[in-house]
Amino acid sequence: MIRALVLLIAAIGTAGATGPAATDFTLNTSCPPGFEKTKAGVCELRTLYQFYDSLENRGLGGTRTALPPHRDGFTPYQIDLGRYLFFDPVLSGDGTLSCASCHDPARGLSDGRARSIGIHGEDAGRAAPTLWNVAFLKRFFWDARANSLEAQAPGPLYSPREMGNSPTQLLASLNGNATYRRLFQEAFPGQRGPIAEKEVFTALAAFQTSLVSLNSRYDRYAHGYDAALSDREIEGLNVFRSFVARCSECHTPPLFTNEQIAVIGMPEPEGHTFDVGAEAILHSPKLKGAFKVPTLRNITRTAPYSHSGAFADLRGVVDFYNKGRGNAVPKDMHLYLHWHISDPKLTDTEVDRIVDFLGALTDETFLPQTPARVPSGLAPTKRGE
Amino acid sequence: MKKGLIIGLLVAAVAFGAGMFFGRSGKQEMTISSSTQGASYSGGFKGEGGAATTGITSVAGPAPTNVVVVKDGESIQAAIKAAPKGTIIRVMPGTYHETVYVDKDDIRIIGVIEAGRRAVLDGEKKLNDAILYSGNNFVAENLEIRNYKGNGIMGQAGNNFEIRNNVIVDSGVYGIFPQLGQNGIVEHNVVSKIADAAIYIGMSDNILVAHNDVFDSVAGIEIENSRHAIVEHNYVHNNTGGLLAFVTPGLPIKDTVDVIFRNNFVVGNNHPNFGAPGSTVSGIPAGTGILVMAADDVVIEGNIISDNKVSGIIVTDHAHAQNITADPESEPNSDRVKILDNVMLRNGYDTITEAKALMLAEGKMGAKNLDIVRVGPSPGSCIINRHQYVTVGVSDFTECDFTNTSATVNYLLPPVPPREIKPGERGKVVYLGICTGCHTYNGRMIGPPVQVIQALYMDNPQGLADYIAKPAKKRDDYPEMPPQDYLDPETRLAVAQYMLQVTN
């Protein structure tokens, strides 16, 4: 019965197919850069940080501290299938947006916008977070409402303000495409029956876990090469981790996030209403205006900044913290601001040095390759091009 | 008349809320234990081989033999920068205006004291922190630190640290603050005039804080989101609050477990609170001897706790602490508090309204003093010889089944040796973690295929190791390779050897 349904869908797919021939697409048999293909045929991450330890195995601390536990162990096929899906606009309701539209390799795996724009041209409400190093995260979305990449995927896919698709349409378009049927079969050989959401989300997760950035100049410094950072950057590092600025208390190495949710009291952009953040998810009024601490890796690549893009540049963000506790909290509102939000009174020079240091966190050597063509035959376009 | 009514209602509400009954007033049978006899608490730590306790007195390993001397007028940081790991930086008496940072292992900064003259680090209220360290096996001794804005000595993830014999005055938010480290000693330091905690152990494991003199600060010694800490033989006086065991919400490590406060002097901690607005300690009432908030398995034994005007000991939970955020992942109660014999004198002589209301509710309105207050749930807690103290909220504490902690010497570990990494393993990880960003086995990427490199260097790994340190442009159709001289020579050779034998 299922077999017949598959054939039927396949037939419909072939009838309407206008895309490239199915044989044009093959899945990579090698693991992405940074990964070792084990005897079991899966990709495992290798990094110098694996030679270090961390307290309670939490992956938080100082220079030579281990990373937190991470996701890996996907096959090269699953990762490469995820790459095709990631860049294929067939995942959106009207075939105009792919994941890469808002997580664009050319824009730090974000989109360069204050807030993302969905298929209907609507403001999605929040900024697209970078996907660098998501393999290490346990919480997803600004309000931390998903606890895995697989749980995160349906959010943007099915939100009418983002990709505007539906499960039915998503699975119909994939099952209707002979190339995808073949590729899913290669990536999930044990799987019988039509392509299901589970495989789609697994493949997307597999690809995203390959987006690793751990080779910045800061990392070279951390591994023991003093000259990797300039004097100004070291000065900046010392302000960054000083207890006056306290940046590293939440943007903690080695990932430069401690993944906690924190009430910072950042302003909303002009004309934008106050975003309650995690309060709505955890139903805790004390967490009104709380957001997940974002990573600072590749931060120079992902302006503008904050959950709603209130800051055009990094200096603007550091200036905000330097203006003192609660400087942008709406007058009629009480927020339980995080205790590290203080009144640091940094000098202009110290603010500049922090910005200098943040520039040393850039590493895009493992940037994924954008496929020239995707199985749907749709142009892997990005909005704005 | 009207006012009185309101107070009467409040008292009734408090009594109801606390689940106490006037009718049950105090004819409990007295249980008398001797702390020099009876069972001993074995602590919550099991080290290697199952030992719960050790007699270790040093954790940073053998002292390095390489010694560098820094004299007045020279820079401590310049010496550290030039030093290989495994160096004693001997700092002569004098005044040093600098922020010192240590990002390598086995560095010991040891001051020389000559006829009472110390090496003084003076931040002049311009510099942020005196010493920042992230290296392992770090030692700071015999220094004097003044006038910094951030911290005196702050650690970020260094293990096996020893911070001793330092004088730290008016140096910002924390005097001594190891964070995210394991296995450390903080002893014989004199720390005063600190705007938060004079000694603050944050998110750390296996800690000994002993023989310190801490005063004139908001908090004396604070153990926060940490496990297996012993705080003993300290003199803790004239702070706003003396000894604190906290779980602070919103931190990535969520609990405080197994803290022993023993044999300390906790005296006259009545200093007005000058904590920064918004800081957790700004909510501590001036006059608090020992404060336990949401920490589990805190043992309080053998302390002399006197002249703290609010209370000798306060045990509370997150719900009763003012203005702190919520954390769904932190358990908010102080579970299994264990109060053994302490000498308690003249505490609670000018206590806060909330405590007075609780005393009224327990029918203790006549008491002039208050030794122990418990508000909020504290399941599994116990006490011995409770009759000697003036208490509120401890009537449901059971009798402890031990009377002392003498079986628990300390929770320190032998110095953890650095993990041995075989060159081959390092070569592989560097190849996969770095080289594969530009080279694949048989395909064109940013750099040429590994197969081509293998053909060129097959019998010459050293040649390849030398080339990657200082590459020259070789091919018109490829960009020039960036130098990999940030890898040390052994690692360069290891990665060259690995690269020359990969087969896919």
Instruction: Give tens-digit pLDDT for B344-386.
Output: 999 999 999 989 999 988 988 888 999 999 999 999 999 999 9
Confidence of residue B20 (pLDDT cuts 50, 70, 90): very low
A165 touches chain B (CB under 8 A): no
A281 touches chain B (CB under 8 A): no
Residue B331 has pLDDT above 50, yes or no: yes
Judged by CB atoms closer than 8 Å, whether chains meet at B440 and A286 is answered as no
Instruction: Specify if A368 maps to a domain.
Output: no
Residue A6 has pLDDT above 90, yes or no: no
**Residues from chain A contacting residue B102 (CB–CB below 8 Å):** none
Confidence of residue A3 (pLDDT cuts 50, 70, 90): very low
Instruction: Specify if A366 maps to a domain.
Output: no
Least confident of A20-29, A128-137, A157-166, B435-444: A20-29
Confidence of residue B280 (pLDDT cuts 50, 70, 90): confident
The residues, ordered by sequence, that sit 6+ positions from B274 with a Cβ below 8 Å of its Cβ are: B195, B218, B240
On whether both A15 and A112 belong to a single domain, the answer is yes
The residues, ordered by sequence, that sit 6+ positions from A58 with a Cβ below 8 Å of its Cβ are: A68, B252, B253
**pLDDT confidence of residue A13:** 40
On whether both A27 and A141 belong to a single domain, the answer is yes
On whether both A161 and A12 belong to a single domain, the answer is yes
Residue B83 has pLDDT above 90, yes or no: yes
On whether both A243 and A342 belong to a single domain, the answer is yes
Residue B442 has pLDDT above 90, yes or no: no
On whether both A26 and A140 belong to a single domain, the answer is yes
Least confident of A64-78, B371-385, B429-443: B429-443
CATH number for the domain spanning A271: value is 1.10.760.10
**What distance in Å separates the CA atoms of residue B504 and residue B499, rounded to the nearest whole number?**
10
Q: Which residue has the higher pLDDT, B322 or A24?
A: A24
Is the Cα dihedral A372, A375, A379, A385 positive or negative? negative
**pLDDT confidence of residue B374:** 96
**Residues from chain A contacting residue B277 (CB–CB below 8 Å):** 325
Average pLDDT, integer, range A256-269: 96
**pLDDT confidence of residue A15:** 38
On whether both A195 and A157 belong to a single domain, the answer is yes
CB atoms within 10 A of CB B282: 18
Instruction: Specify if B198 maps to a domain.
Output: no
Question: What is the CA A327 to chain-centroid distance, rounded?
Answer: 29
The verdict on ipTM greater than 0.90 is: no
Residue A210 DSSP SS3: coil
Q: How many domains does chain B have?
A: 1
Which of A53, A225, A260 is nearest residue B252 as measured by Cβ atoms?
A260
Nearest to B208 by CA among B238, B176, B170, B255: B176
Give the CB-side neighbour count of residue A269, counting CA atoms within 13 A: 16
By residue range, what is the domain housing residue B442?
A: 423-499
Residue B288 has pLDDT above 50, yes or no: yes
Last residue of a domain, one of A187, A208, A229: A208
**What distance in Å separates the CA atoms of residue B209 and residue B197, rounded to the nearest whole number?**
13
Last residue of a domain, one of A208, A229, A246: A208
Q: How many domains does chain A have?
A: 2
Least confident of A9-13, B199-203, B360-364: A9-13
**pLDDT confidence of residue B12:** 35
Average pLDDT, integer, range B242-253: 93
Instruction: Specify if B386 maps to a domain.
Output: no
Nearest to B396 by CA among B415, B411, B410, B377: B377
Average pLDDT, integer, range B165-188: 96
Residue type at position B69? V
**Residues from chain B contacting residue A64 (CB–CB below 8 Å):** 134-136, 157
**What distance in Å separates the CA atoms of residue B76 and residue A206, rounded to the nearest whole number?**
48
Instruction: Specify if A367 maps to a domain.
Output: no
Those of residues 215-274 in A touching chain B at CB distance below 8 A are 215, 220-228, 234, 238-239, 241-245, 248, 252-253, 258-263
> Please, what's the b/e burial string for B57-91 (b: 16 or more CB within 10 A of its CB; e: otherwise)?
eebbbeebeeebebeeeeebbebbeebebbbbbbb
**pLDDT confidence of residue A381:** 64
Average pLDDT, integer, range A129-137: 98
Last residue of a domain, one of A173, A208, A243: A208
Residues in chain B: 504
By residue range, what is the domain housing residue A181?
A: 2-208
Contact B468, B491 (CB under 8 A): no
Confidence of residue B441 (pLDDT cuts 50, 70, 90): confident
Instruction: Specify if A154 maps to a domain.
Output: yes
Instruction: Specify if A370 maps to a domain.
Output: no
Q: pTM here?
A: 0.89
Instruction: Specify if B459 maps to a domain.
Output: yes
Average pLDDT, integer, range B205-221: 97
pLDDT tens, position by position, B450-493? 999 999 999 999 999 999 999 988 888 888 888 888 888 999 99
Instruction: Specify if B439 maps to a domain.
Output: yes
Instruction: Specify if A382 maps to a domain.
Output: no
**What distance in Å separates the CA atoms of residue A262 and residue B237, rounded to the nearest whole number?**
34
Name the strand (E) or helix (H) holding B398. strand B398-399
CATH number for the domain spanning B460: value is 1.10.760.10
Structure tokens at B148: 């910094």
**pLDDT confidence of residue B326:** 75
**pLDDT confidence of residue B138:** 97
Residue B13 has pLDDT above 60, yes or no: no
State the pairing for strand pair A35-37/A43-45.
antiparallel
Contact A366, A109 (CB under 8 A): no
pLDDT tens, position by position, B121-171? 999 999 999 999 999 999 999 999 999 999 999 999 999 999 999 999 999
**pLDDT confidence of residue B8:** 32
Instruction: Specify if B177 maps to a domain.
Output: no
Among chain B residues, the shortest Cα distance to A29 is held by B504
**pLDDT confidence of residue B48:** 57
